[in-house]
Amino acid sequence: MLLLASSFSSLSHPSLSNLHHFPHSSFPQPSLHLPLPFSTSQTTPIRRHTISCSLSSSSSVEQSAVSISQMQSSLLLYSRAYWVTESVIAWNVDLGNGFCYLLSSKDASLSIADCKIQGEDLKIKLEEDTAGLPANVVEKFPHIQGYRAFKLPPGLDIKSLLKSQLVVAIYDSDEKCRDCTGLQLPGVLDELFSYNGPLGAHFSEEAVSLYLWAPTAQAVHAYIYRDPSGDDPIEIVPLEEEHGVWRTEGPKCWEGCYYVYEVCVYHPSTLRFEKCYANDPYARGLSADGRRTFLLNIDSDELKPDGWDSLANEKPGLHSFSDISIYEMHIRDFSANDLSVQSEFRGGYLAFTLLESAGVLHLKKLSSAGVTHVHLLPTFQFAGVDDRKENWRFVDTSILESFPADSDQQQALITAIQNVDAYNWGYNPVLWGVPKGSYASNPNGPYRIIEFRKMIQALNRTGLRIVLDTVYNHLQGSGPFDDHSVLDKIVPGYYLRRNTDGFIENSTCMNNTASEHFMVERLILDDLVHWAVNYKIDGFRFDLMGHIMKSTMVKAKNALHCLRKEKDGVDGSSIYIYGEGWDFGEVANNGRGINASQFNLSGTQIGSFNDRIRDAILGGSPFGHPLQQGFVTGLLLQPNGHDHGTEANAKSMLATSMDHIQVGMAANLKDFVLTNSKGEEVKGSEVLTYGGTPVAYASCPTDTINYVSAHDNETLFDIVSLKTPMDINVAERCRINHLATSIIALSQGIPFFHSGDEILRSKSLDRDSYNSGDWFNRLDFTYNSNNWGVGLPPQEKNEKSWPLIKPRLADPSFKPQKINILAALDNFLNLLRIRYSSPLFRLRTANAIQQRVCFHNTGPSLVDGVIVMSIEDGHEGFPGLPQLDPIRSIIC
């Protein structure tokens, strides 16, 4: 039997991973500290507040008049009404005996004084439609389904109105304004200006053409520069508009120049028309400071390494998505500390091209054993790391090495420079379509493009396919002035999802995007195809995928799978996509449409991370008590002193964890039938988490990404060291590390491993190392150290656990030696060889898993802490079952 025993044998909270990546974002809110006369919840009753027109008797008349005027004008910062179609505006308001009007101003002169709105160019009366909102509107915007519908009169010049400041207002019969608000425009913009034509820069033999979608802009100019910084523009070119798209054509000599758009547009966050200066959303290159778009023809032969166009024919073979195994890695982690890499290549793209470096030799071992895909953390243009290396700051490692293993001095020195060093995970996107400049030898010009392609080519030739980590759920910048803002400068209020008061949602961390809007979805799809075709990427991982609509994800899969070698230079049918299907924030429970959550994606063959098996293996969740134990970390069988309740309760928790793990090992299939710890025959979907939701959600094995560790939270070795009793020895912890990875490696579905799992990687117990520098994120492919005990982890995310962490770091017996690291690597490689020794470990259908996978040691008499699995092949005992493995009739 295939037997997986808890090391001591003789729940499910989704990992909201990127909530750790950033400090709280500031986003547009009313500038005055005023009490809000209404609820800000997502589901709101009809609001019945009024604009105050009286003066307080307790203050001077003059002061009160100013205060009321400010309060009234601040209402215009809110956008609580929605212009949803050309003829319909939705507003959650009580009309009463009043009248509803739409007001516009071409120069943003609208203001409120004495309960009247002033400065309008047009005042248009609206009529309530008692039939309510049309069904298609409710489907697109389910969060406003109870709103009243107001009809606009025919014959209006809607396209011109959309370029103005806009307000809807309720007037009483005495012509006093009782209520007013701004409008959210994505619905009407989608109806009138959805566009599938060219965008960005396009090159011909004679000319360079620019296209920008900006239907609310009043004017757009392109500033053309010869150089990446400094100097005045060589040209300022006005663009002409047609159906919301601004375009111009320039001479061929523009190629190799830089440009910036000046967009004159009304911005709801300032209540003014602003001149916004922005990069092209479809930029393919950038200047080193990120402020100018580089005009390059990405199809130019000069940007292609030798053999680039034929790389599709050199890709490592992939017969089925079920054959995938994924190794997650950060570009800088890979080589920043590798002395076998020349100094100018360390931490960058070109380090992957050095075939005899320690890191590349390590990847070759993984590839030879069976790893198929390397997942690279964000490689697009992100904020948080200056692309200009001369601006980076470092701490002398000899100083850091001089401190004790449990000192707080290392983290103090690292965090003092953490925003001006070379390190960040990169989950703070600025432009999705440009490789990050800090990883290139020269961030100006075409170098980042050429070197990125060399990296992809080298990894493919090492036997590894490449997955890019995409972050389409949010953006780093917003507003008209933020240096990192792009999309919100060009069409303010469109690309970013807003709440019912009109302010930007930030449940992902900051500046949530709105894939339910047509041109947001289009940008995402175009960007994916761009990376697949122009960089020959083999897969995409979607950060916080649950914040993207399911329809967008399905279209993404279809768009990629339509790519053909003959036409596009890539085989799109081999591109796999997966992501974090967590269901929270404003999108939870399909609050903004059917989102790409774990349950909603069932059967799409779009993978989602299985947090159930992670939590059952390790114990608790990333948001629970750090000492809560699980299957491998000693629950019941070797307690660590944490209160798990009575022995009976701990026994029940362990049995439940075993049920969860068994469901996960069967690819987390919702219809997989097993015998649970109570002796009941149940489906995977009938096994429940501690929160009462089903454990299983998958309909096919490639719906599931099984993992026990990732870049988020502590490394596997660290969490094992934290949760296991302090008095066990390091060899036992190493065996536990191996047991955890073995569960993942031998499960049905797609296994996912964090870089360093196989060499006992430590981050000195840092639970969120996104900005912890090279020091805490070090990887050592010489296998001399696993980076344990390099100081207390950074205070911001870890201080509350310092009392638990400090004695562990101070104890030298916790630190593995080289012999432990080498043994862990050998064990991991052997696990991979076992997985790829038989197709029975990589079954392709739910039926095959149900027919062939069986769990033993189940029911109320089970032996605690022992999971026993067998996988059947066609043989005499199983007539009619096709034979898949020519060597084995059963794995047990």
If you average pLDDT over residues 324-338, what whole number do you get? Answer: 98
Q: Could you read off the pLDDT of 790-849 as tens digits, one per residue?
A: 999 999 999 999 999 999 999 999 999 999 999 999 999 999 999 999 999 999 999 999
- Is 640 a residue whose pLDDT tops 50? yes
Q: Which residues of 79-94 are buried (b: 16+ CB within 10 A; e: fewer)?
A: bbbbbbbebbbbbbbe
d(CA 344, CA 348): 8
The least confident of 29-38, 211-220, 634-643, 714-723 is 29-38
Confidence of residue 20 (pLDDT cuts 50, 70, 90): very low
Q: Which two tokens stand for residue 845?
A: 């259908």
Sign of CA dihedral 342, 346, 349, 353: positive
Q: Could you tell me the pTM of the whole model?
A: 0.94
Asked if the model's pLDDT at residue 320 lies above 60, the reply is yes
Q: What is the mean pLDDT of residues 150-160?
A: 97
Residue 651 burial class via C-beta count within 10 angstroms: exposed 0-12, middle 13-18, buried 19 and up: middle
Please choose, from the candidates 103, 112, 110, the residue with its C-alpha nearest in 3D space to the C-alpha of residue 152: 103
Judged against a pLDDT cut of 80, whether residue 523 lies above it is answered with yes
One-character DSSP codes across 647-670: HHHHHHHHHHHHHHHHHHHBTTBT
Q: At what angle do helices 358-369 and 818-835 cross, to 10 degrees?
A: 40
Among candidate residues 387, 421, 469, 580, the one labeled active-site is 580
Please say if the pLDDT value at position 64 is more than 70.
no
Pairing of strands 235-238, 217-225: antiparallel
pLDDT tens digit sequence for 188-212? 999 999 999 999 999 999 999 999 9
**How confident is residue 6, by pLDDT bands cut at 50, 70 and 90?**
low
Burial of 119 (0-12, 13-18, 19+ CB in 10 A): middle
Distance CA 330, CA 817 (A): 24
Does residue 654 contact residue 635 with C-beta atoms inside 8 Å? yes
Contacts 24+ apart (CB under 8 A), 795-801: 795/408, 795/411, 795/412, 795/415, 796/415, 797/20, 797/766, 797/767, 797/768, 798/765, 798/766, 798/767, 798/768, 801/626, 801/765, 801/767
Tell me how far apart the alpha carbons of residues 576 and 561 are, in angstroms, rounded to a whole number.
9
pLDDT at 421: 98
Q: How confident is the model at residue 23 (pLDDT cuts 50, 70, 90)?
A: very low
- Sequence-distant (6+) residues with CB within 8 A of 301 are none
Compute the average pLDDT of residues 213-240. 97
Residue 812, amino acid: P
DSSP code, position 120: -
**Tally of CB atoms within 10 A around 18:** 23
List phi, psi (to 5°) of 743.
-60, -45
| Per-residue pLDDT reduced to its tens digit, 256-297 | 999 999 999 999 999 999 999 999 999 999 999 999 999 999
Q: What is the mean pLDDT of the chain?
A: 93
Is residue 580 among the annotated active site residues?
Answer: yes
Candidates 179, 406, 521, 543; catalytic one: 543
pLDDT at 637: 97
Residue range 601-617: mean pLDDT, rounded: 98
| Least confidently predicted of 31-35, 494-498, 743-747, 853-857 | 31-35
Is 235 one of the catalytic residues? no
Report whether pLDDT(632) > 80.
Answer: yes
Cβ atoms within 10 A of the Cβ of 58, count?
Answer: 6
Where do runs of H (alpha helix) occur along 325-384? 331-335, 358-369
Classify 381 in phi/psi space as left (phi over 0), alpha (psi -120 to 50) or beta: beta
How far from the centroid of its chain's Cα atoms is residue 705's Cα? 16
Q: How far apart are the first and last CA of the chain?
A: 3
Examine the pLDDT at 42 and tell me if it is beyond 50: no
Residue 412 — very low, low, confident or very high, per pLDDT cuts 50/70/90? very high
Q: In this predicted structure, what is the pLDDT of residue 114?
A: 86
- pLDDT confidence band for 215 (50 / 70 / 90): very high
User: How do residues 669-715 score in pLDDT, each as one tens digit?
Assistant: 999 999 999 999 999 999 999 889 999 999 999 999 999 999 999 99
The whole-angstrom separation of Cα 559 and Cα 441 is 33
- Residue 55: exposure state from Cβ atoms within 10 A (0-12, 13-18, ≥19): middle
Nearest alpha carbon to residue 622 among 797, 747, 450:
797
Q: At 552, give phi and psi (nearest 5°).
A: -65, -45
pLDDT of residue 84: 98
* pLDDT surpassing 70 at residue 856: yes
